[in-house]
């Protein structure tokens, strides 16, 4: 018998406020046509300006659903892994805030800052903890509140139109089995030489002081992206990492029931599908409804794919993504029969 890390519950939560592409035109020079053509996005959810909530609050709602589906009480969790690039506070991490909101007193909480690949790194980390015996039940959360940190003027339109707020969580459990189930493999990469391609560089501990009116006037507290460089890197890395993980796990592309890529731009995922010669229905998209929720996109898509009946018992799913860092990677997970 081998110890395997198996996903036993999923949940998602997005704030109720919907922001359509047309809504964005009141603040910036953009259009529904441009956004849909270039990204596939129709709308996204943003937190309510009048009653703002933090990333850990969105994570809490998603976690409650995942816990219920896994049949766990919060006390059953022996590690929280929280992936986000938009933590509630500069420090401490959102994992600690979530731990308290779940009513827990000393359960360890680990934050991961891997941006769009936060869930992929998180799944690999949870798998390593479980297989080493360091944890038996891990709550892995991907959550973001982007909306409070976006430049909603025309200057920031290339980045602002793509981001949405949202959260999703999975419960991961140690299962003793002879079957090849749970996380079958993970491949992780980073390329810090491209760090400048997608970043928010203020407040910054390398500046003295960390945030000044001048920095804000230069709009350095908003995200900036070299969209074309990231797009190109994604089209190179996503097929590459897929081939590596399939080889590593001894699977073929036909063995995968559903490919769940990070939802950064529908065109990236459509090019990926064509480059990999995959049938259209095997590559999941939900960017139309949520935009790019960064660390939340993959678990959010997983939860929806379940609900839509696209996957179920026995399904083999490949997660993959590339984003700020740049970081990229993939995991394969098989659900038990
Ligand atoms: O999840 C993190 C990883 N991120 C990604 O994977 C994102 C990868 N990159 C992308 O998705 C695309 O590069 C974007 C969607 C961000 C931008 O699309 P693009 O096709 O690369 O457009 P562009 O930045 O080259 O801009 C083309 C034109 C420019 O106008 P000119 O110079 O040709 O007159 C922009 O000013 O489109 C203009 N533009 C816009 N127009 C209307 C840029 N943003 C907008 C906008 N609305 N929101």
Kindly report, residue by residue over 239-286, the tens digit of the pLDDT. Answer: 999 999 999 999 999 999 999 999 999 999 999 999 999 999 999 999
Complete domains list, the chain, with CATH: 2-177 (3.40.47.10), 182-334 (3.40.47.10)
Q: Does any ligand 1 atom lie closer than 6 A to the CB of residue 33?
A: no
What separation in Å is there between the alpha carbon of 86 and the centre of ligand 1? 22
What separation in Å is there between the alpha carbon of 150 and the centre of ligand 1? 15
Q: Does any ligand 1 atom lie closer than 6 A to the CB of residue 172?
A: no
**Ligand 1, atom 20: nearest CA belongs to which residue?**
38
Contact between 238 and 283 (Cβ < 8 Å): no
* Angle made by CA atoms 309, 302, 327, in degrees to the nearest 5: 155
Bridge partner list, 168: 12, 142
Kindly report, residue by residue over 4-56, the tens digit of the pLDDT. Answer: 999 999 999 999 999 999 999 999 999 999 999 999 999 999 999 999 999 99
What separation in Å is there between the alpha carbon of 332 and the centre of ligand 1? 31
- What b/e sequence results for 65-96 when a residue is b if at least 16 CB atoms lie within 10 Å of its CB, and e otherwise? bbbebbebebeebbbbbbbbbbbbeeeebbbb
Kindly report, residue by residue over 118-175, the tens digit of the pLDDT. Answer: 999 999 999 999 999 999 999 999 999 999 999 999 999 999 999 999 999 999 999 9
Q: Does any ligand 1 atom lie closer than 6 A to the CB of residue 336?
A: no
116 is catalytic: yes
Confidence of residue 88 (pLDDT cuts 50, 70, 90): very high
Q: Which atom of ligand 1 is nearest to the CA of 264?
A: 1
Q: Does any ligand 1 atom lie closer than 6 A to the CB of residue 116?
A: yes
User: How high is the pLDDT of residue 213?
Assistant: 96
**Ligand 1, atom 43: nearest CA belongs to which residue?**
158
**Ligand 1, atom 1: nearest CA belongs to which residue?**
264
User: How high is the pLDDT of residue 180?
Assistant: 97
pTM, entire model: 0.97
Q: Is 252 left (phi over 0), alpha (psi -120 to 50) or beta?
A: beta
Among residues 140, 193, 172, 168, the alpha carbon closest in space to that of 70 is found at: 172
User: Per the residue annotation, which of 21, 45, 96, 116 is the catalytic one?
Assistant: 116
Rounded distance, CA 80 to CA 77, Å? 7
User: How high is the pLDDT of residue 245?
Assistant: 98
Alpha carbon of residue 8 to chain centroid: 18
User: Per the residue annotation, which of 262, 265, 269, 286 is the catalytic one?
Assistant: 262
Q: Does any ligand 1 atom lie closer than 6 A to the CB of residue 160?
A: no
User: How high is the pLDDT of residue 269?
Assistant: 97
User: How high is the pLDDT of residue 282?
Assistant: 98
Choose one of 38, 114, 194, 222 to mutate for the ligand 1 pocket test, by most ligand atoms within 8 angstroms of C-beta: 38
Q: Does any ligand 1 atom lie closer than 6 A to the CB of residue 292?
A: yes
Q: Does any ligand 1 atom lie closer than 6 A to the CB of residue 30?
A: yes
224 is catalytic: no
User: Per the residue annotation, which of 265, 286, 292, 331 is the catalytic one?
Assistant: 292
Q: Which atom of ligand 1 is nearest to the CA of 161?
A: 48
């Amino acid at each position: 018998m081998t110890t395997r890390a198996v996903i036993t519950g999923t949940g998602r939560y997005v704030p109720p406020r919907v922001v359509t592409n047309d809504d964005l035109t009141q603040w910036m020079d953009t259009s529904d046509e441009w956004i849909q053509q270039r990204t596939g996005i129709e709308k996204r959810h943003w937190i309510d300006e009048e009653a703002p909530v933090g990333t850990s609050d969105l994570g809490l709602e998603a976690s409650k659903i995942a816990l219920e589906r896994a049949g766990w009480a919060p006390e059953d969790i022996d590690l929280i892994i929280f992936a986000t690039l938009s933590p509630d506070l500069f420090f401490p991490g959102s994992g600690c805030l979530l731990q308290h909101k779940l009513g827990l007193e000393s359960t360890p909480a680990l934050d991961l800052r891997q941006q769009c690949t936060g869930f992929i790194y998180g799944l690999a980390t949870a798998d390593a903890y479980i297989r080493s015996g360091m944890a038996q039940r891990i709550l892995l959360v991907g959550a973001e509140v982007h909306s409070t940190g976006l430049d909603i003027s025309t200057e920031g339109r290339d980045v602002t139109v793509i981001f949405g707020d949202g959260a999703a969580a999975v419960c991961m459990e140690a299962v003793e089995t002879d079957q090849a189930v749970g996380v079958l493999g993970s491949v992780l990469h980073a390329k810090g030489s491209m760090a400048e391609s997608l970043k928010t560089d203020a407040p910054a501990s390398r500046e003295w002081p960390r945030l000044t009116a001048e920095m804000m006037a230069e709009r350095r507290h908003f995200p900036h992206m070299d969209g074309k460089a990231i797009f190109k890197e994604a089209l190179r890395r996503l097929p590459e990492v897929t081939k590596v993980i399939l080889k590593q796990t001894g699977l073929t592309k036909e063995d995968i029931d559903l490919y769940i890529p990070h939802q950064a731009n529908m065109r990236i995922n459509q090019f990926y599908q064509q480059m990999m010669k995959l049938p259209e229905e095997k590559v999941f998209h939900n960017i139309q409804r949520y935009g790019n929720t960064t660390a939340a996109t993959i678990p959010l898509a997983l939860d929806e794919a379940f609900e839509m009946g696209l996957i179920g018992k026995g399904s083999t799913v490949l997660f993959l993504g590339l984003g700020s860092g740049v970081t990229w990677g993939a995991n394969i997970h098989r659900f038990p029969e």
